[in-house]
Structure 1
Amino acid sequence: MLKTVSLFTGAGGLDLGLEAAGFQTTIAIEMNKWACQTLEFNRPEWNVVDKDIHLVSSPEIRDIGSFQDDSPDLLIGGPPCQPFSKSAYWSTGDTKRLNDPRSDTLTAYLRVLKDLKPKAFLMENVFGITYKGKNEAIDLLKKIIEEINKEEGVNYNFNIGVLNAADYGVPQIRERVFIVGSREGHKFDFPLPTHSNPSEISDDLFPKEHWKTAWDAIGDLDGISHDDIPVTGKWANLLPSIPEGKNYLYHTVRGDGLPLFGWRTRYWSFLLKLAKDKPSWTIQAQPGSAIGPFHWKNRRLSTREICRLQTIPDDYHVLGGRTEVQRQLGNAVPSLIGEILGKEIRRQFFKEEVDSDLRLLMQRNKSAHQEEPAMPVSHEYLHLLGDHQKHPGTGKGPQGIARVG
């Protein structure tokens, strides 16, 4: 198997996908204690290092990963660049971005790239780092890699792909940026989508499969006890009144429910519920009590259900309390995406013949299902009935006005 160095490993979602593609993680560096416990419980052979990457020297990585006389085949990781996330951008109107000390994780990743000189590298990050006019991270990446090439006599380059996991057979709408590079300067061609939104008309000569759905992923778990995780908080009793696949917008003047809220005055994921015939919405790492996606049975998703939606194998156990488990899984890369990219890296960079069958691609759930009925609005929310102002637009709401003031 090809040898991998894994940084910012988290719960191991990307590593599991690469494992399915024929890569072996030889060292996994992660500072979250619960993620480390998850890794050590499931894959002790990955040599988990429970430290901040800034405290782990490159010689240590070489020693633990057994790379004294050679370079790793692949360096992987998703530097946690919260300053570049869409939520950070829209909540503040802008971000400190590279001036934010949290963005230094990117340069830590590149320090390991320079010192270990892997044959290839794979980086994952949030879509925000590619926003037009907000591309300091990409510019910095280009600049540092040019310096590495000049100083080390290598020829690294990279290609950027924005992938929606649902387009590749993951039962979840999750858009992320992937950066893939080669030490020899080879171009990387990202794989073409294999699945598509059935509601969008396509004129493809060879039509794609429809998106995998939440029912495909977790429908067979419907009759299994999950130690049901109740929804709590102020809005818990309103959730049953929202149909499958809808959110709070159902209870606005433009929805089919009661006018309880103003149009677009809440986050999209507020009271958001799964639909059996659609992929899951993006799994959140730190949801509030009213932030979904919620199960169509009006409860939170179980750990096993979230793993299914992230295409993490059933025999993998995520350790920790509910909050810690949610954080680990919400931050993970869907493992199927790791498998798909891993096979392409082997084929394009290492010139290996690769089996086209995907181990982590789930089968369709062909059992019949019916939409869960929505319940009447609980009397405790009827005082909200009335005319509500819609959101005035980006930067014009109460928070935006307060910032300007």
Structure 2
Amino acid sequence: MKSVDLFCGAGGFTEGLRQAGYNAILANDFDEMACKTFSYNHPEVPIVCRDIARLSVQEVLEKTGLRKGELNLVVGGPPCQGFSLAGRRMIDDPRNRMFLEFVRIVEGLHPHAFVFENVSGIQTMQKGEVVKAIVAAFEDIGYNCEYRVLNSADYGVPQKRPRFILIGSRSNEKIGFPSPTHGAVTGQARLFGDSLQPYVTSWEALSDLPIIEQGQGDEELSHSGDYFNQYQSARRGNRVPGKIFNHRATSHSEKIIERYAAIPEGGDNSQVPEHLRTKKVNVYKIHSEMPARTVTCNHRTDLLHPKIPRGTTVREAARLQSFDDDYRFFGNLTRKAKWVTQDDQVGNAVPPLLARAIGLHLKNKMGW
């Protein structure tokens, strides 16, 4: 099973597909730090680090040694803000460029299937007309399309992260979507033989990581080797055994620490005493007994550790995204640099366990 990852970012989709048995044969992104992260973690996968508009189908075929129609799968999540439509059709507008480049590559490679992923809010853009236009664009190049919003927590990710997933195939049969493996399992459900495993909670994901206070940590630490559950054991990885990367906490002022300490688990900045409040409300403290909220690109200031009054580290965010401990992220922690930050790479990534579930489902349905 061979795959190509467009707009690959840090490589979350490729990582999940790797775990599902796929062989990534090419990736593309324009950001140098994202490409560095991808290449470090997937050294066997060639990556073209440039604007997709300057990536030709012929170059992809030459680099992969494939002919049109031989590839199994193309995946990608082009940015889709501000679509410009004419009725229900895409038009040649700069705001549509990234999406149309994705369509161009899919048409040229003509894979057996593709996966287009995006934010769940894409369904309501322009009262649903954007999704209709997206589907029409793929149908025009010969694909049958199905789409659904999948919750990452349903597939073992310790995070309630909804993602819009559109699957297109050359098959006339319905492909469908992977069945959930996790859920809110009650005692009654277990009594009647429910096959779902309980959601992985944020504390089940984080509790074995080295305890560091604000301003502490490092880009490379040694792990104790202890783990307390199956999820933690599975996240050890085998690239660099015993190592944890990117576990460095932001320094906070005493007033910010006091404010963070006052926020209850599962609560936000509006619940602190009035003298500690700011105009910013979207600061959330993770509830340790539930999957986390969506990890964003601002997690070090907006998504707080459930037990320690500080923002989450890149490693903690990566754990909540289901990356292995030895999956290393490169780049700055601030946005003063030209390239995307470590936070951006983690926050924008497809959770590997969600990608793995999609890959295994396609493998089964497509007979690969």
If the length of structure 2 is used for normalisation, what is the TM-score?
A: 0.79
Rounded Cα–Cα distance in structure 2 between residues aligned with 1:44 and 1:241: 44
1:315 match: 326
Q: Which whole-Å CA distance do the structure 2 matches of 1:164 and 1:318 have between them?
A: 24
Per-residue CA deviations over 1:112-157 (Å, capped at 9, x if unaligned) read 11111001111110011112753233222222223223xxxxxx20
The yes-or-no answer on 1:337 pairing with 2:354 is: yes
Q: State how 1:268-279 maps to structure 2 within 5 Å.
A: 269-270=282-283, 272-279=284-291
SS of alignment partner, residue 45 of structure 1: coil
Aligned residues: 322
Distance 1:103 1:141 in 2: 10
| Partner residue in 1 for 2:137 | 144
Counterpart amino acid of residue 167 in structure 1: D
Matches for 1:324-403 after TM superposition, within 5 Å: 324-349=341-366, 351-352=367-368
Name which of 205, 214, 219 aligns with 2:202.
214
**Counterpart code for 2:263:** I
Q: Which has the larger share of strand?
A: 2
| Matched residue SS, 2:103 | helix
Pair 1:226 & 2:251 matched? no
Matched residue type, 2:174: K
2:81 equivalent in structure 1: 82
Aligned-partner Cα distance in 1 for 2:348–2:294: 10
Aligned twin of 2:152: 165
Question: Gaps spanning 5+ residues in structure 1: where?
Answer: 85-96, 150-155, 252-256, 353-405
Contact 2:250 2:313 in 1 (8 A): no
- The residue identity in structure 1 corresponding to 2:153 is A
CA distance in 2: counterparts of 1:68 and 1:159, whole angstroms: 26
The equivalent of 2:292 in structure 1 is: 280
> Residues 98-247 of structure 1: matches in 2 within 5 Å?
101-131=94-124, 134-149=127-142, 156-197=143-184, 206-207=193-194, 208-223=196-211, 226-227=217-218, 228-232=248-252, 235-247=256-268
Maintained 8 Å contact 1:98/1:137 = no
Contact 2:68/2:110, CA 8 A, preserved across alignment: no
1:7 match: 6
Q: CA deviation at 1:213?
A: 0.8
Distance 1:260 1:69, change over 3 A: closer
Percent identical across equivalent pairs? 33
Give the Å deviation of 1:62.
1.0
* Corresponding residue of 1:301: 312
How far does residue 18 in structure 1 lie from its aligned partner after superposition? 0.5
- In the alignment, is the contact (CA less than 8 A) between 2:5 and 2:27 conserved in 1? yes
RMSD of the TM alignment (CA)? 2.9
Rg larger for: 1
- Correspondence 1:30-69 to 2 at 5 A: 30-68=29-67
Q: Which consecutive residues of structure 2, in runs of 5 or more, have no partner in the other structure?
A: 84-89, 219-247, 335-340
2:270 to 245, 249, 268: 249
Evaluate the alpha carbon distance shift between residue 210 and residue 258 of structure 1 in structure 2; reply closer, same or farther with a 3 A threshold: farther
SS of structure 2 residue aligned to 1:25: strand
The SS at the match of 2:217 is coil
Post-superposition offset of 1:71: 2.3
Aligned counterparts of 1:226 and 1:103: Cα–Cα separation in 2: 41
